[in-house]
């Protein structure tokens, strides 16, 4: 793994888990279209070896998905997910 890919993989991990925490706590998504686009190559290079651990199986994309939703679905996350019991 190149140093650039290693750094991008760390950024991917931080960004996706920041999204996890944000949506679970009712906060706005920190994952912008620009950031998602920059992280896509790292996801494609590393996700398969982490499926079942950090990432679930990829979800089918939707026609209206932008870069952030596409990345989230690729990593097994539903970009429309909300907590079952939203916090007040």
In angstroms, rounded to a whole number, what is the distance separating the alpha carbons of residues 14 and 18?
Answer: 6
Q: How far apart are CA 29 and CA 22, in angstroms?
A: 6
Distance CA 82, CA 43 (A): 23
Query: How many residues are recorded in the chain?
Result: 88
Residues in the chain, pLDDT under 50? none
DSSP code of residue 65? -
The tokens 């890919």 sit on which residue?
Answer: 5
Q: What ranges do the domains of the chain cover?
A: 3-74
Distance CA 85, CA 35 (A): 29
Amino acid 88: pLDDT:
61
Is the pTM value of this prediction over 0.95? Answer: no
């Amino acid at each position: 793994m190149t140093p650039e890919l290693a750094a991008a993989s760390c950024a991917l991990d931080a960004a996706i888990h920041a999204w996890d925490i944000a949506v679970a706590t009712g906060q706005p998504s920190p994952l912008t279209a620009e950031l998602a686009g920059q992280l896509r190559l790292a996801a494609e290079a590393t996700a398969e070896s982490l499926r079942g651990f950090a990432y679930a199986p990829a979800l089918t994309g939707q026609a209206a998905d932008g870069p952030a939703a596409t990345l989230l679905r690729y990593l097994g996350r539903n970009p429309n997910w909300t907590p079952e019991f939203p916090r007040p």
